[in-house]
């Protein structure tokens, strides 16, 4: 990093889908979905700093399991910086350091959170001043979940999930997440979903009104039984042990339990913070999953938490 390089740090949240309704496969290969996204306080951070002129985009990562993720063009952080820089015609010289806390390939859209964080960080670092609407359009090109990571809160997504409308909700929700060390591939889970549905007529995805009513009331007792995920059967088919994780969480008093997105993380809604701690402890002791996290939602989307210079001396650059 050059001496006195400017840095911008952005924090971006994980998501859980309170509902994920998956329609038939479209001609372009994607599925029409209706998704109720909910951002929770498990965050990744991206630190963007001035790169050396001509050195290009340099991605580094820290956190559990990052060895499995490439840091070249395949990384969503790289793709986000490139897309923004090309769009705004800016020299693509930037260091991007990702501090990962969102489980990788866990169905919580960690990669998308990183891409959203990168858009916000590079927009500030490069002083582009993109409007929110423009950033969301660029985000949608990178992936359906990237738009939501920018947006945060609780929102209904249609199309591939990228057309967002904020949902009316009240209250704070307490979650327990049971995670696995080994991820599931989103395309494989969708493929398994198509295979299991073969020969069955699948209608257009519909929002669950009872879920939205529970969210408006801010009542976890009403929300819990309405959580639903059309990818769950496919995720369980590929990872049968998830069924036991779900049964275990429910038997310890969760109000609802679902596979998060394409899995393998399982999400449990608790009555309150104390119940969340009890469910987390019991799940952890049960040995049915690799680790357990508690979290609350909704939280904000990708936003700057720090900016300044590295204040480094010339010696640091050698
Ligand atoms: P989603 O819920 O959006 O389907 P996910 O939470 O299941 O995604 P991610 O952690 O977003 O999974 O990563 C999925 C794959 O994307 C990983 O296996 C990895 O190879 C690739 N990937 C690219 N960039 C990143 C990144 N910055 N962080 C994590 N994974 C990344």
Bridge partners, 157 (sequence order)? 35, 164
Domain containing 137 equals 6-167
Number of domains in the chain: 2
Residues 143-188 have pLDDT tens digits of 989 999 999 999 999 998 889 999 999 999 999 999 999 999 999 9
* Same domain as 125, residue 28: yes
* Average confidence (pLDDT) over 209-233: 98
Residue 25 contacts residue 194 (beta carbons within 8 Å): yes
* Choice from 68, 110, 267 to test ligand 1 binding pocket (greatest atom count within 8 A of CB): 110
Is position 1 within any domain? no
Position 312 pLDDT exceeds 90: no
Q: Residue 28: its pLDDT value, please? A: 86
In short, whether 118's Cβ falls inside 6 Å of ligand 1 is no
Claim to verify: residue 239 and residue 273 sit in the same structural domain: yes
Residue 27: which pLDDT band, with cuts at 50, 70 and 90?
Answer: confident
Domain CATH number, residue 40: 3.30.230.10
Instruction: Determine if the pTM surpasses 0.85.
Output: yes
pLDDT per residue as tens digits for the range 277-288: 999 999 999 999
The answer to whether residue 307 is domain-embedded is no
**Best probe residue, ligand 1, of 17, 20, 63, 105 (max atoms within 8 Å of C-beta):** 105
- 3-class state of residue 170 by DSSP: coil
**Active-site residue identified among 123, 145, 230, 275:** 145
Q: Using 50, 70 and 90 to split pLDDT, how confident is the model at 202?
A: confident
Distances in Å between the Cα of 167 and the Cα atoms of 83, 107, 188, 215, 249 are 29, 21, 29, 9, 27
124 and 76 within one domain: yes
**Residue 309 forms part of a structural domain:** no
- Look up 290 and say whether it is catalytic: no
Instruction: State residue 3's pLDDT score.
Output: 65
315: pLDDT strictly greater than 60: no
CA atoms within 13 A on the CB side of 152: 19
* pLDDT at residue 2, rounded to an integer: 65
Residue 10 placed within a domain: yes
User: Which pLDDT tens digit goes with each residue over 84-94?
Assistant: 999 999 999 99
């Amino acid at each position: 990093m050059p001496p006195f390089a400017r840095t911008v740090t952005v924090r971006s949240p994980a998501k859980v889908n309170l509902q994920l309704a998956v329609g038939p496969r479209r001609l372009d290969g994607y599925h029409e979905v209706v998704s109720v996204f909910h951002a929770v306080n498990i965050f990744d951070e991206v630190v963007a700093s001035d790169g050396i002129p001509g050195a290009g985009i340099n991605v580094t990562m820290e956190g559990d399991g990052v060895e499995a993720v490439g840091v070249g063009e395949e990384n969503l952080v790289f793709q986000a910086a490139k897309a923004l820089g090309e769009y705004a015609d800016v020299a693509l010289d930037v260091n991007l350091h990702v501090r990962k806390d969102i489980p990788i390939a866990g169905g919580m859209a960690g990669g998308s959170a990183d891409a959203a964080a990168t858009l916000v960080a590079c927009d500030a670092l490069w002083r582009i001043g993109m409007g929110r609407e423009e950033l969301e359009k660029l985000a949608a090109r990178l992936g359906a979940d990237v738009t939501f990571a920018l947006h945060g809160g609780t929102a209904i997504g249609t199309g591939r999930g990228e057309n967002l409308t904020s949902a009316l909700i009240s209250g704070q929700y307490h979650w327990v997440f049971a995670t696995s060390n080994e991820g599931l591939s989103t395309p494989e889970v969708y493929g398994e979903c198509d295979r299991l549905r073969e020969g069955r007529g699948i209608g257009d995805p519909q929002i669950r009104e009872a879920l939205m009513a529970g969210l408006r009331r801010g009542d976890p007792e009403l929300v819990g039984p309405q959580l639903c995920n059309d990818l769950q059967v496919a995720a369980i088919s590929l990872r049968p042990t998830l069924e036991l994780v779900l049964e275990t969480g429910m038997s310890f008093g969760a109000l609802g339990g679902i596979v998060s997105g394409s899995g393998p993380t399982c999400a449990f809604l608790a009555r309150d913070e104390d119940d969340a701690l009890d469910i987390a402890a019991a799940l952890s002791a049960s040995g049915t999953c690799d680790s357990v996290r508690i979290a609350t939602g909704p939280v904000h989307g990708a936003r700057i938490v720090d900016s300044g210079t590295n204040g480094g001396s010339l010696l640091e650059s050698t």
